[in-house]
Amino acid sequence: MDDRVTKKVVIDSGHGGEDPGTIANGITEKDLTLKISEYMHNQLNQLGIDNKLSRTNNETLELDVRPKRIQD
C-alpha cells in the first residue's frame, strides 16, 4: 500500500460569523463558501472519502480553532 494515501480531506469554508468576506450582487462570500463546502462534503461522502468540514454553520472561527476542530 502506498504511504501517500490520503487519510482525510479537510474542507475549510473560510469567513463566517462576523467575517462576511466579500459582498456583491446580493451574494455574501461566507454563505457561498459554506454552500460549496457542504456540496464538496456530500460528494466526497458518496465516494467514500473521509472528510471533515471546519464549520457547518454561520459562526466565527478563530484561526487557532480551525485545526483543533478537525483533529480527531
Calpha distance 15→21 (Å, rounded): 6
For the stretch 18-68, pLDDT in tens is 999 999 999 999 999 999 999 999 999 999 999 999 999 999 988 888 888
> pTM of this prediction?
0.82
- Of the candidates 3, 10, 18, 24, the residue with the CA atom closest to the CA atom of residue 32: 24
Q: Is the dihedral of CA 11, 15, 21, 24 positive or negative?
A: positive
